[in-house]
Amino acid sequence: MNKLTVKDIDVTGKRVLVRVDFNVPVGKDGSISDDTRIRASLPTIEYLIKKRCRIVLCSHFDRPDGKVVESMRLAPVAKRLSELLGVHVEALKDCIGPEVEAAVSKLRDGEIALLENVRFHPGEESNKPEFALALSRLADVYVNDAFGASHRSHASVVGVAQYLPAVSGFLMEKEIDSLGGALENPERPFAVVVGGAKVSGKLGVLDNVIDKVNLLLIGGGMVATFLKSRGYGTGSSLVENDKLDYVRRLAEKASLSGVKLLLPVDLVVAEKLEAGSDVKVVPAAGVPENLVIADIGPETIEQYSRELKACKTVVWNGPMGVFEVPEFARGTRGIAEIISNLKAKTIIGGGSTAEAVNEMGLDKKMYHVSTGGGASLEFLEGKVLPGVAALRDK
């Protein structure tokens, strides 16, 4: 990574504003159901504690649209973070203003305050300079450790970096090095597995990787568009007819580049994409008229497994089927298990793919599971993330 990290500057005893991504899932009772993103922030926070910094954490949570929403306060996150760190984290009632500044001024070396949800203020998402300046008054140094929010040009992500020395945290560094290293200098053979509902949602990824990979494996609902482009029936599956020429060109480009592009050989189909539906496995070239593609089939799992076992770098973004429904989860589970057991650098590209891997308890067996959904997608598309661009270069 060509950006300065928190280790590259002297932060000892300073006030440090750390942008974290604590936008975590919560249950109906308000309790945190997955603290992965909180745990991912610990190395940076623990480093700053050792450096006797006065630590001010800031994050967004959900979409309050610039208004205070009681159910979107960050106090439960502060409580969970306190438990993980073994030290008290003070949850403040706001993120800017005289009362917040007074509370931060009382912090002692190594103490931590968590600002209230920055999206309670409209100036956050509109990146108002006044809001960014108010945040910057709380610190001497800015550390961005929120990779998952760094595709947004928001005040706490980009704006603050205009007023304070801005560097990367350890999670940000790991995300960029892992994803960037795979795309720029992979150990080969290099495979990318792409799934998801629509081709249109993964155009950028497909365009960016097609001349970088040795193997491209396709799954998910987007399979229907690929199959129709080759003249196969797709039943009642969603087909993006305006993308048929695109996938034909992609296949042609893969062939000319010596890239092996594989589609499923069999599929799980059903009348509806709902729990309790009757399912059947059919050849990919024989989807019945009244049925919809819901998952890749067992022969495809076996074929993809054989291909992946030879690879040294694997990036996976997008589920293989409607994995939220148990009847259609076998493909995603199968690919997750295969990838987790590879002797390779395995990188999971965030979002629903990371959710599936975490739910299965396979995250620890992967080289890296990205904490960014939209951010990891844009990074894999080759885009420059505004939150990364705002940091100081080495």
Which positions are annotated as active-site residues?
37, 198, 351, 374
User: Which one-letter amino acid corresponds to residue 230?
Assistant: R
Interatomic CA distance for residues 100 and 121, integer angstroms: 14
**The dihedral sign for the CA sequence 39, 43, 45, 50:** positive
**The dihedral sign for the CA sequence 117, 119, 120, 126:** positive
User: Which one-letter amino acid corresponds to residue 102?
Assistant: A
Token pair for 30: 């308000």
The CA–CA distances, whole Å, from 231 to 226, 243, 292, 294, 322 equal 9, 14, 17, 19, 24
CA 6 to chain centre: 22
13 forms bridges with which residues in the sheet?
none
DSSP of 104-157:
HHTPPTT-EEE---GGGSHHHHTT-HHHHHHHHTT-SEEEE--GGGTTS--TTT
Using DSSP's 3-state secondary structure scheme, residue 177 falls into helix
